[in-house]
A and B are shown apart, each in its own frame.
Chain A
Amino acid sequence: MMPESSLVKDHYGISVKCGAPLLRHFNQSSLPLHGNTNAQSAFCTQQNVPECLSHINQEVSSLGLRTIWTELDESSDLNVVTVLNCMHDLIQLHRRSLRTLENMEVEQLKSSSKLDYLQLSTTRLKEQLECSKRENTGLLERERQLQQKVKSLQNCLKNEKEEMQKLQNMIASRATQYNHDMKRKERDLNKLKERLSQLLVDKKERKQAIDVLNNIGRADGKRSVWKTEKTEAKHEGEMYKTLLSDYDARQRDLVLENAELRRVLHQVKNDMVSLLRLKKLTQKGVQNERDGTQANSEEEQEEEGFEPGKELFSVHASEKLTNSIRLQWRRLKSHVEQLDSQVSLAQVNAGKSSETTPRETQEEEVDKLKLEIQEYKDLIQTQQHLLQHQLSSSCDEITSLRNDGYMLQEKERLRGEWKTLEGQRSIFERERKNFTEAAIRLSHERKAFEEDRATWLKHQFLSLSPCGDPKKLMLSNPTGETELNLQLTQEKLSEFLSDSASTPKYRSSSSLSTVDLHHALHATPENLLIKPKVKTTNTEESRNLWEDFPILQELSEP
Chain B
Amino acid sequence: MNFSEVFKQSNQLCKVSPDGKYLATCVQYRLVIRDVNTLQILNLYTCLDQISHMEWSSDSLFILCAMYKRALVQVWSLEQPDWHCKIDEGSIGLVSSRWSPDGRHILNTTEFHLRITVWSLCTKAVSYIKYPKACQKGLDFSRDGCYMALAERRDCKDYVSIFVCDDWHLLRHFETETQDLSGLEWSPNGCVLAVWESCLEYKMSLYSLDGRLLSTYSAYEWSLGIKSVSWSPSSQFLAIGSFDEKVRILNHITWKKIAQFEHPAIIDNTKTVYKEIEKRPAVSSDEMSLHDITVASSLFSTQSKYDISPLPVQIPVVKPDPDRANPKIGVSALAFSSDSRYIATKNGGFQVHSLNWHCSGDSLILIGKDQLCLCYMDADQNNE
Contact = CB atoms under 8 A, between A and B. Distances in A.
A208 B114 CA distance: 14
Contacts of A220: 102
Given A176-B323, A177-B325, A214-B83, A205 B210 contact: no
A246 B169 contact: no
Given A192-B112, A212-B86, A219-B103, 4 more contacts: A177-B224, A205-B90, A210-B124, A254-B253
Interface string A178-212: 11110000001001100100010000011111111
Contacts of B117: 208
Contacts of A173: 223-224, 322, 327
Contacts of A169: 322
B122 A218 contact: yes
A37 interface: no
B83 to A, nearest CB: 5
A177 B200 contact: yes
23 contacts: A174-B222, A176-B325, A177-B200, A180-B326, A191-B112, A195-B93, A208-B90, A210-B124, A210-B126, A211-B84, A212-B85, A213-B85, A215-B122, A219-B103, A224-B123, A225-B167, A227-B167, A232-B169, A235-B169, A238-B146, A239-B171, A240-B210, A243-B210
A172 B124 contact: no
Interface in A220-273: 220, 224-225, 227, 231-232, 235-236, 238-240, 242-243, 246, 250, 254
B209 A243 contact: yes
A217 interface: yes
A242 B90 contact: no
Which secondary structure dominates where chain A touches chain B?
A: helix
Nearest to A212: B85
A216 interface: yes
Contacts, number: 125
A235 B164 contact: yes
3 closest pairs, A vs B, by CB? A180-B325, A206-B90, A246-B191
A212 B223 CA distance: 51
B230 to A, nearest CB: 20
B326 A177 contact: yes
B87 interface: yes
Interface in B105-134: 111-112, 117, 119, 121-124, 126
Interface residues of B, number: 52
Given A177-B199, A180-B325, A219 B104 contact: yes
A224 B165 CA distance: 12
Contacts of B199: 177
B362 interface: no
A242 B209 contact: yes
A310 to B, nearest CB: 26
A170 interface: yes
Nearest to A192: B112
Nearest to A206: B90
Contacts of B124: 210, 212, 215
Contacts of A211: 84-88
Listed residue (A174, A178, A179, A219) with the most chain B CB atoms within 10 angstroms of its CB: A219
A206 B189 CA distance: 42
A480 to B, nearest CB: 110
B384 interface: no
B208 interface: yes
B190 interface: yes
Interface string B341-356: 0000000000000000
Contacts of A235: 164, 166, 169, 171
Contacts of B190: 242
A68 B250 CA distance: 139
B169 A231 contact: yes
Given A176-B325, A232-B169, A208 B88 contact: yes
B114 to A, nearest CB: 9
Contact of B122 (A213, A216, A231): A216
Contact of B222 (A170, A206, A242): A170
